[in-house]
Chains A and B, each alone.
Chain A
């Protein structure tokens, strides 16, 4: 056991020989307690703090003139619907035109929406991926800041990649929205926005499900 052993050797030439036996203080309880507290604090210390995903939304602007103009062909609309499903279409849904764009159904799996996004964002993704690979293999050495700057520059200069508009319909769970934003980060999409679903799209979704239901009915 841990003890304090007081050495009362004969250095003092026997002037005061009060005690022969050294004083032993039994420290076992104290050590036990220290051990207990140590374990407690070690276990309660939260080493892995919760992570956060940053998202910056565009400032609200009433001014329609200020709204950024994008090429219709670059727009990829993702409509989140209930039961973890995704419907997407290209371009703009213009109610004045006779033919509305067709919706494609997919999901959150790696072969689902991620494939679609990667396909559209191939150019930018391979650029950023190449840069990251070069850094991992040590081909180029750059401080963290300039890597971030390069990636930012890639994203800024990207003119072909998709502009993703994420629209959540009414019964969507929060999880789905976080997942899709995360998907944007995974596939290095340069520009995406969280926007409200509009009336035309609501109609498109309900039409899609009506068609799917009747299709399933006729198959029986």
Chain B
């Protein structure tokens, strides 16, 4: 038996399949990723047993923050060709005699929830960045003399009647404020709500009887 000759070359592992897999996964994740834009306010939602998922598109989201500020958000439709946000903004603009430039409308389409009266909206759209925008919120006017929340909901549903309403309230928001929002929604004939919650399971059996 002769000596076993050790190969001088270091052993080479063919990594091609691994890299292939990496790219495949990468492409999958890139395509499936849906970016959730930064919310204007962080909300700690209450938990419930409900296992229904949030509707994906055509949602009006009304957020009630911890300090009882009401934010309104409406999505842009199932694809950007619908331009629902743009239409709603234009309708609101003509209602309150505020002219928005095409650039402003375009910018508004990619923005998020807001809690501002109409006359401040222009400044909000034209703000430099989101940190600047976040401090501008003063609350949505929703009293009987100037009910802008009602108008926003009405115009949104005018362009797309099947808009679902998701109500996202903070745990510690006052129910009184949420009730106001619910009343406004009912004024708009919205009787079905989706209350955004965290999942928490809580089993009950017959033994509990």
Contact = CB atoms under 8 A, between A and B. Distances in A.
B193 A115 contact: no
A104 interface: no
Contact of B26 (A37, A53, A55, A186): A37
Report the interface size class on chain B.
35 or more
Q: B interface, by DSSP: helix, strand, loop or mixed?
A: mixed
A70 interface: no
Interface in A36-93: 37-38, 41-42, 44-46, 48-60, 80
Nearest to A185: B49
B160 interface: no
Given A27-B19, A31-B22, A51 B209 contact: no
A51 B173 contact: no
B170 interface: yes
B84 interface: no
A219 B170 CA distance: 38
B159 to A, nearest CB: 23
A162 to B, nearest CB: 14
A16 B186 CA distance: 82
Nearest to A48: B199
Interface stretch (B103-111, B144-152, B176-184): B176-184
Contact of B204 (A1, A44, A114, A175): A114
B197 interface: yes
Given A35-B22, A45-B33, A46-B36, A182 B48 contact: yes
A199 B170 CA distance: 28
A51 B54 CA distance: 6
Contact of A54 (B46, B50, B179, B186): B50
A11 interface: no
B82 interface: no
Interface in B11-68: 12, 14-16, 18-19, 22-23, 25-26, 29-30, 32-36, 45-55, 64
A2 B173 CA distance: 56
B195 A178 contact: yes
A45 B49 contact: no
B166 interface: yes
A45 B29 contact: yes
A150 interface: no
A52 B196 contact: yes
Contacts of B32: 45
Most B-side CB within 10 Å, residue of A53, A59, A122, A126: A53
A2 B52 contact: no
Interface in B160-182: 166, 169-179, 182
A145 interface: no
A172 B47 CA distance: 16
Interface of A: 1-3, 27, 31, 34-35, 37-38, 41-42, 44-46, 48-60, 80, 110, 114-115, 118-119, 122, 125-126, 129, 168, 170-179, 181-182, 185-187
* A-B complex: 10 closest residue pairs judged by Cβ atoms: A41-B29, A2-B15, A52-B194, A53-B50, A175-B171, A182-B48, A178-B46, A174-B169, A174-B173, A175-B46
12 contacts: A31-B15, A34-B23, A34-B26, A51-B50, A51-B51, A51-B198, A54-B50, A57-B193, A115-B208, A118-B204, A174-B177, A177-B178
